[in-house]
Amino acid sequence: MSQFKTVILALFVLGPWMAFANPGVVFVHGTGNPKADNDEYWYDDFVAKVTQIEVTKGGYISSIAPLCNFDNYMWKQDAVGCVTSAMMAFIESENITRLYVITHSNGGNVLRWILSNPTYDSRYPKIIRRIKNVTAIAPSSLGTKLADDAIDGNFFKKAIGWAVGNRNNATRMQRRGSMQYLNREWLYGTSGRPKLPVPFRVIVGTNVSATSTWYCGDSWTDIALEGAQYFIEESCSDGVLSCSSQKAAGELWFEDTERADWNYHLSHDQSRRGCFGLDKILRDDVRKVLL
């Protein structure tokens, strides 16, 4: 067959698929139940800034940011089941063929559950086939000392449980011993476990600098996170999660100061906002991966 005929045949076969192939972005929040308190989790129009990518004349890339009950164990229906239903509805309604997923904190565990257990739900393989990249911002892959303290600590230590949630099932799940078990038995991507079936790239927050970066985010929150660092017992942390926990699954993309404007740190609160150019970094990567 001549090269010309091969090209014509390829266009005939792939043309209809290419015409209706759509990219999409999914944002998966962390611990909490945003629907309950009407908090959209992603601050300062973060979703809109990341997805300002024109794919047709006057039309921008499609996205969703499901609000689910992440106060619960990740495998429960109102947690991962809620995310799965939202993603399937998005895929079917928008004919999404290529997905870029952005997670924050415990949202990384929820995505790893889907990626690690394809037979758990018949919808998981349909989602996995479409995912081209997961960017996990400050994932709690090994849990956090704060969760241990919030559930098992003394009264003073329990008072800092706000940083990871109240004494709920999601906090229990993110205790270090619980995450060690889950990583060993149920989740892929950590040392000694099978690789995840799609790229799972991690952005790590390495410190909290409330005095110098107060103007992006909630300054009182960052002041509190600076205090919470004392209980984490690791010098490198974003105020909630140690760097070793954040880096444990998938592959490191970058630490905050390597790419953020002015080499600033991203606290656990700031990394779900468009602070210090994070929105632009993600937008450029979405464009590169999906278009």
Domain count, the chain: 1
Residue 99 contacts residue 181 (beta carbons within 8 Å): no
Residue 204 CA: distances (Å) to CA of 22, 134, 207, 225, 266: 30, 14, 9, 16, 8
Would 48 be classed as within a structural domain? yes
- CB neighbourhood size of 39 (10 A): 13
For residues 9 and 287, which has the higher predicted lDDT (pLDDT)? Answer: 287
First to last CA, the chain: 30
Instruction: Give me the mean pLDDT over the 123-135 stretch.
Output: 98
Q: What's the distance, CA 49 to chain centroid?
A: 16
Tell whether the model's pLDDT for residue 278 goes beyond 70: yes
Instruction: Give me the mean pLDDT over the 104-108 stretch.
Output: 97
Exposed / middle / buried, residue 68 (Cβ in 10 Å: 0-12, 13-18, 19+): buried
Instruction: Give me the mean pLDDT over the 124-144 stretch.
Output: 98
Would 16 be classed as within a structural domain? no
Would 26 be classed as within a structural domain? yes
DSSP code string of 7-25:
HHHHHHHHHHHHHH-EEEE
Would 184 be classed as within a structural domain? yes
Provide the residue range defining the domain that includes 56.
22-290
* pLDDT-derived band at 172, boundaries 50, 70, 90: very high
Would 85 be classed as within a structural domain? yes
Tens digits of per-residue pLDDT, 70-86?
999 999 999 999 999 99
> Taking phi first (over 0 means left), then psi (-120 to 50 degrees means alpha), and beta for anything else, what does residue 203 get?
beta
pTM of the entire predicted model? 0.90
Task: State the pLDDT at residue 156.
Answer: 53
Task: State the pLDDT at residue 153.
Answer: 78
Tell whether the model's pLDDT for residue 239 goes beyond 80: yes
Would 141 be classed as within a structural domain? yes
Would 6 be classed as within a structural domain? no
Would 5 be classed as within a structural domain? no
In whole angstroms, give the CA distance from residue 96 to residue 102: 16
Task: State the pLDDT at residue 39.
Answer: 73
Tens digits of per-residue pLDDT, 196-219?
999 999 999 999 987 766 678 777
Backbone angles phi, psi at 105, to 5 degrees: 55, -125
Task: State the pLDDT at residue 98.
Answer: 97
Mean pLDDT of the residues in the chain: 88
Nearest Cα neighbor of 109 from 229, 190, 24, 192 is 190
* pLDDT-derived band at 161, boundaries 50, 70, 90: low
For residues 129 and 9, which has the higher predicted lDDT (pLDDT)? Answer: 129
- In the chain, what percentage of residues exceed pLDDT 90? 69
Task: State the pLDDT at residue 226.
Answer: 86
Task: State the pLDDT at residue 18.
Answer: 42
* pLDDT-derived band at 17, boundaries 50, 70, 90: very low
Find the CATH number of the domain harbouring 286: 3.40.50.1820
